[in-house]
Amino acid sequence: MLLDLDGVLADLVQGLLERHGRPSPFSVESGVFGPSAWNFPQTVWGQSPDDTWSVCDRSFWAQLPKTEHADEIVALVAGHVGARRVAICTALPGAVAADGAADGKLDWCRRHYPELPVILTAEHSDVYTTPPKHFLAHDGVILIDDNEANCRAFWNAGGLAMIWPAWWNSRWAVQGHAVGQLDSFLRCFA
Ligand SMILES: [Mg+2]
């Protein structure tokens, strides 16, 4: 069982809003929601990837707040599959400017969930020597991730995945029922 970090356990979006001093762009009224809102710093704010990530040093990643449901998610999946079969699986941003991401993410995981092993992957395997998440996909492996593209690649490679509901994916409308949906998913597939 692989748990994504950003957007599932760590609140990356809140961290980005604070670091860039901007309000949340997401709402039904603003029309900013769904898969097209995935790269909102670029598509809504008009930033380049380096604009977004160059201000995100090791301490930024290490000090991200937990998401509202992080502890519930970890407890729920451990309850379903056993704590020793759960790992955090997190991708390093593609931008070269995000140099502190690997260390900062490991800092975060050690601080909040020291019992869980961490697998570092990459959004772009040409930037780092780590592979994308779907390299880990095979029969019986489940990924919980807010990145719809990651989930689709994982399915296509032979694994199972659940898109964790968020404003920036196609399951945005069921965010209020995310933990219950995870429980149902695990009852069916774990
Ligand atoms: Mg994520």
CATH architecture of the domain with residue range 2-189: 3-Layer(aba) Sandwich (3.40)
pLDDT of 126 higher than 70:
no
Instruction: Tell me the CA–centroid distance for residue 188 and ligand 1, in Å.
Output: 23
Please tell me the pTM assigned to this model.
0.95
Instruction: Tell me the CA–centroid distance for residue 129 and ligand 1, in Å.
Output: 20
Instruction: Tell me the CA–centroid distance for residue 29 and ligand 1, in Å.
Output: 24
Instruction: Tell me the CA–centroid distance for residue 136 and ligand 1, in Å.
Output: 16
Encode pLDDT of 178-189 as tens digits: 999 999 999 999
Q: What does the block give as tokens for 158?
A: 């032979």
Instruction: Tell me the CA–centroid distance for residue 89 and ligand 1, in Å.
Output: 9
Q: Work out the widest C-alpha separation in the chain, in whole angstroms.
A: 43
Instruction: Tell me the CA–centroid distance for residue 70 and ligand 1, in Å.
Output: 12
124: closest CA among 100, 98, 142, 106?
98
Continuous segment of H or E residues that includes residue 109:
helix 101-112
Q: What is the mean pLDDT of the chain?
A: 93
**pLDDT attached to residue 158:** 96
Instruction: Tell me the CA–centroid distance for residue 187 and ligand 1, in Å.
Output: 23
Instruction: Tell me the CA–centroid distance for residue 31 and ligand 1, in Å.
Output: 21
30 torsion bin: left (phi>0), alpha (psi -120 to 50), beta (else) = alpha
Where exactly are the structural domains of the chain? 2-189
Instruction: Tell me the CA–centroid distance for residue 132 and ligand 1, in Å.
Output: 13
Confidence of residue 125 (pLDDT cuts 50, 70, 90): low
Reduce the DSSP state of residue 66 to 3 states and report it: strand
**pLDDT attached to residue 130:** 79
Q: What does the block give as tokens for 10?
A: 């760590």
**pLDDT attached to residue 92:** 87
Encode pLDDT of 160-170 as tens digits: 999 999 999 99
Instruction: Tell me the CA–centroid distance for residue 30 and ligand 1, in Å.
Output: 23
**pLDDT attached to residue 98:** 64
Instruction: Tell me the CA–centroid distance for residue 11 and ligand 1, in Å.
Output: 9
Confidence of residue 127 (pLDDT cuts 50, 70, 90): low
Confidence of residue 135 (pLDDT cuts 50, 70, 90): very high
CB atoms within 10 A of CB 78: 16
Instruction: Tell me the CA–centroid distance for residue 3 and ligand 1, in Å.
Output: 9
C-alpha 63/C-alpha 56 separation (Å) is 11
Instruction: Tell me the CA–centroid distance for residue 22 and ligand 1, in Å.
Output: 20
171: closest CA among 2, 8, 15?
8
C-alpha 137/C-alpha 152 separation (Å) is 11
Encode pLDDT of 65-113 as tens digits: 999 999 999 999 999 999 999 999 999 887 555 678 999 999 999 999 9
CA 164 vs CA 32, 47, 177: distances in Å: 18, 25, 10
Q: What does the block give as tokens for 1?
A: 């069982």
Alpha-carbon torsion, ordered 76, 82, 84, 90, to 10 deg: -30
Name residue 49's amino acid. Answer: P
Calculate ∠ Cα 107-121-65, nearest 5°: 35
**pLDDT attached to residue 170:** 97
Confidence of residue 7 (pLDDT cuts 50, 70, 90): very high
**pLDDT attached to residue 97:** 54
pLDDT of 144 higher than 70:
yes
